[in-house]
Amino acid sequence: MTVKSICCIGAGYVGGPTCAVIAYKCHDIKVTIVDLNQARIDAWNSDKLPIYEPGLEEIVMERRGKNLFFSTDVDQGIQDADLIFVSVNTPTKKSGMGAGMAADLAYIEAATRRIAQVSKTPKIVVEKSTVPCRTAQSMRTILEANSTGNIRFDILSNPEFLAEGTAIKDLLNPDRVLIGALQTPEGIKAQNALVGVYTHWVPRDRCITTNLWSSELSKLAANAMLAQRISSVNALSAICEATGADVDEVAYACGRDTRLGSKFLKASVGFGGSCFQKDILNLVWLSTQLNLPEVAAYWKQVVDMNEHQKHRFVQRIISTLFNTITNKKIAVLGFAFKKDTGDTRESAAITLIKSFIQEHARVAVYDPKVEPEQIMMDLTEPGVVDNRKQVEQHVQICSSAMEAAQGADALIICTEWDEFKDTELDYSKIYESMNKPAFLFDGRLMLDAPKLRNMGFKVQVIGKTELAGTA
Ligand SMILES: NC(=O)c1ccc[n+]([C@@H]2O[C@H](COP(=O)([O-])OP(=O)(O)OC[C@H]3O[C@@H](n4cnc5c(N)ncnc54)[C@H](O)[C@@H]3O)[C@@H](O)[C@H]2O)c1
Ligand SMILES: O=c1ccn([C@@H]2O[C@H](COP(=O)(O)OP(=O)(O)O[C@H]3O[C@H](CO)[C@@H](O)[C@H](O)[C@H]3O)[C@@H](O)[C@H]2O)c(=O)[nH]1
């Protein structure tokens, strides 16, 4: 079967870029991305797209109105398609059984029920969202129990591995595309149909075909293993700080072993993003449900170490600033969870700034891509009376790094934006404008610390001590 018309339910960070790239690479396929969120769809149809991702705008502008469409008419989108990506959010449950760990599958279920209710022709339904292992089984049951007439649904799992900030690059040149299906003749036929979409631009040997459950679990496994590397190197950074070893040197020495490889070994203020924590907790919950408590505890430690890393950094800042930051001005450079994205979900900056507010510091934040209102929303605890007012009293949002640093006691690098590099930003001018001693905390290991120390800064770097390498 050849796919001619695709509908993607969910116009978010995954649905938008993924299906825009499919439209860009497959001119023979009509791609419609639908969402219930009118404002989001309006933004996709405007000049200012709802998400920032390098290269995305060019692709959307080139295909929009030709074979790429954005709409709130979910039912029409479903009816017109022969293949439907379900790319809705699967956040961690906030209440009820598994609260704080299990994935909230309510959006998946609502989208699946909608597909069942309005479909008039056979559909291939593809799980694009990250879901617990065996979710496809529930989707099949819902589809079969609720469809009108004898419509055939084939379910595939096709998890997405793009990273934000490099989404378009990752989609255009993926390490692999994973497609899971029931290993029945019909399942394999549907699997081949989706392989046929990707092979418009992805070499066939990079399209991995597996059974449904392996595909679902591989997504959680890949994220857990990636995050585990970061927690491992962050755990080592604490040992480095206490011994005089240098975490960059240790990571480099380990990463040169081809069995380990060099990627994802950068120590940091802690990993953020909407996926790592959520997906590991999802795996922890799955293990718990499967009565595998030791396995659950093993993966949980990856998240615990990440929390520890953030708190350790805050403690180091406070103790360096003579054990009090009350009324001191702390300039935070970067609020997004990584560079080249405006996404702030689970960003380490949120935890840090909340701790600074609790210590009664004054915080000045600058991020080149995050909207001021997003920062205020992220820092405000929902449901806590007057909390927004308190945040507004303590936090100033600035339009440049220079402005944030003016009169500050400490400068904290939270996100590794290129414009914060010491080759880009005028740190000597920043030094002049700060209170003395002028402290600089590099949470991303991106600055030339000796050079900045020569300017007069008191520099502290994660996983390093000033006297590293000396006796
Ligand atoms: N963000 C990433 O980098 C990334 C990468 C890989 C996988 N994932 C996974 O992909 C999924 C989507 O993530 P995201 O970051 O794009 O989420 P998102 O919140 O940005 O987007 C999800 C969209 O789905 C819409 N939606 C929810 N229910 C709907 C319904 N019933 N009908 C129509 N629209 C509906 C929401 O309005 C929202 O716009 C998640 O499972 C996530 O874990 C995310
Ligand atoms: O060596 C490293 C690498 C990353 N990070 C941090 O880890 C977080 C996540 O980074 P990254 O993985 O690059 O971005 P995500 O967009 O969260 O992508 C991850 O999560 C996605 C959602 O599931 C997956 O699709 C991707 O494959 C997976 O990399 C960020 O805060 C990074 O700063 C580090 O601290 N050190």
pLDDT in tens, 227-270: 999 999 999 999 999 999 999 999 999 999 999 999 999 999 99
Residues 189-195, mean pLDDT to the nearest whole number? 98
Mean pLDDT of the chain: 96
Q: What is the pLDDT of residues 141-151, one digit of tens each?
A: 999 998 887 89
Distance CA 158, CA 167 (A): 16
Distance CA 314, CA 229 (A): 22
Q: What is the pLDDT of residues 18-74, one digit of tens each?
A: 999 999 999 999 999 999 999 999 999 999 999 999 999 999 999 999 999 999 999
- Residues 254, 141 within the same domain: no
Long-range contacts of 106-111 (CB under 8 A, 24+ apart): 107/10, 108/135, 108/139, 109/138, 109/142, 111/9, 111/10, 111/86
Q: What is the DSSP letter of 420?
A: G
Q: Are 8 and 15 in contact (CB under 8 A)?
A: yes
Residues 107-113, mean pLDDT to the nearest whole number? 97
Distance CA 82, CA 78 (A): 8
Does any domain span residue 218? no
- Residues 454, 322 within the same domain: yes
Q: What is the pLDDT of residue 284?
A: 97
Please choose, from the candidates 278, 269, 288, 199, the residue with its C-alpha nearest in 3D space to the C-alpha of residue 412.
Answer: 269
Q: What is the pLDDT of residue 157?
A: 98
Please choose, from the candidates 87, 41, 35, the residue with its C-alpha nearest in 3D space to the C-alpha of residue 64.
Answer: 41
Question: What tokens does 160 get?
Answer: 């997405």
Inform me whether the pLDDT recorded for 392 exceeds 90. yes
Inform me whether the pLDDT recorded for 133 exceeds 70. yes
Between the CA of 121 and the centroid of ligand 1 the distance, in Å, is: 25
Distance CA 71, CA 7 (A): 10
Does any domain span residue 211? no
Give, in degrees to the nearest 5, the angle at Cα 420 between 415 and 426: 155
- Residues 80, 147 within the same domain: yes
Distance CA 77, CA 84 (A): 9
Name the residue at shortest CA distance from atom 13 of ligand 1. Answer: 89
Q: What is the pLDDT of residues 202-221, one digit of tens each?
A: 999 999 999 999 999 999 99
- Residues 42, 186 within the same domain: yes
- Residues 161, 300 within the same domain: no
CA atoms in the 13 A half-sphere facing the CB of 122:
9
Number of H helices, E strands in the chain: 18, 14
Task: Tally the domains of the chain.
Answer: 2
Give every CB contact of residue 286 below 8 A, 6+ residues apart in sequence: 132, 133, 220
User: Judging by beta carbons within 10 Å of its beta carbon (0-12, 13-18, 19+), is residue 121 exposed, middle or buried?
Assistant: exposed
Inform me whether the pLDDT recorded for 471 exceeds 90. no
Q: Which of 178-192, 403-417, 457-471 has the lowest average pLDDT?
A: 457-471
Between the CA of 422 and the centroid of ligand 1 the distance, in Å, is: 36
Q: What is the pLDDT of residue 432?
A: 98
Does the beta carbon of 219 lie inside 6 Å of ligand 2?
no
Residue 17, classed as helix, strand or coil, is helix
Inform me whether the pLDDT recorded for 362 exceeds 80. yes
Does any domain span residue 213? no
Q: What is the pLDDT of residue 163?
A: 97
CA atoms in the 13 A half-sphere facing the CB of 160:
28
- Residues 198, 229 within the same domain: no
Sheet with 83-86, edge to edge strand ranges: 68-71, 30-34, 5-9, 83-86, 123-127, 153-157, 177-181, 207-211
Residue 32, classed as helix, strand or coil, is strand
- Residues 184, 234 within the same domain: no
Q: What is the pLDDT of residue 383?
A: 74
Residues with CB under 6 A from ligand 1: 9-15, 35-37, 40, 74, 87-90, 107, 110-111, 129-130, 160, 162, 164, 274-275
Does any domain span residue 471? no
Read off φ and ψ for residue 351, nearest 5 degrees. -60, -45
**Ligand with the closest atom to the CA of 176:** 2
Does any domain span residue 468? no
**Ligand with the closest atom to the CA of 446:** 2
Distance CA 309, CA 445 (A): 14
Read off φ and ψ for residue 207, nearest 5 degrees. -95, 110
Does the beta carbon of 275 lie inside 6 Å of ligand 2?
yes
Between the CA of 9 and the centroid of ligand 1 the distance, in Å, is: 9
Task: Please identify every residue annotated as catalytic.
Answer: 275
Report percent pLDDT > 90 for the chain.
95
- Residues 339, 196 within the same domain: no
Question: What tokens does 198 get?
Answer: 């990707």
Inform me whether the pLDDT recorded for 469 exceeds 80. no
**Ligand with the closest atom to the CA of 131:** 1
- Residues 143, 271 within the same domain: no
Domain final position from 148, 171, 202:
202
- Residues 168, 266 within the same domain: no
Give every CB contact of residue 182 below 8 A, 6+ residues apart in sequence: 154, 155, 211, 212
Inform me whether the pLDDT recorded for 466 exceeds 70. yes
Q: Which residues pair with 44 in a beta bridge?
A: none
Does any domain span residue 192? yes
Distance CA 115, CA 155 (A): 12
Q: What is the pLDDT of residues 295-329, one digit of tens each?
A: 999 999 999 999 999 999 999 999 999 999 999 99
pLDDT band per the 50, 70, 90 thresholds, residue 405: very high
Q: What is the pLDDT of residue 176?
A: 98
Inform me whether the pLDDT recorded for 387 exceeds 90. no
Q: Which domain holds residue 63?
A: 5-202
- Residues 23, 68 within the same domain: yes
Does any domain span residue 208? no
pLDDT band per the 50, 70, 90 thresholds, residue 385: confident
Q: What is the pLDDT of residue 371?
A: 95
Name the residue at shortest CA distance from atom 24 of ligand 2. Answer: 161
Does any domain span residue 209? no
Domain final position from 143, 171, 202:
202
CATH label of the domain that carries residue 188: 3.40.50.720
Give every CB contact of residue 95 below 8 A, 6+ residues apart in sequence: none
Q: CB count, 10 Å around CB of 255?
A: 17
Between the CA of 107 and the centroid of ligand 1 the distance, in Å, is: 9
Q: What is the pLDDT of residue 1?
A: 87
- One-letter amino acid of 23: A
Give every CB contact of residue 290 below 8 A, 6+ residues apart in sequence: none
| Helix 276-289 with 212-243: angle, nearest 10 deg | 120
Residue 354, Cα to own-chain centre: how many angstroms? Answer: 20
- Residues 252, 149 within the same domain: no
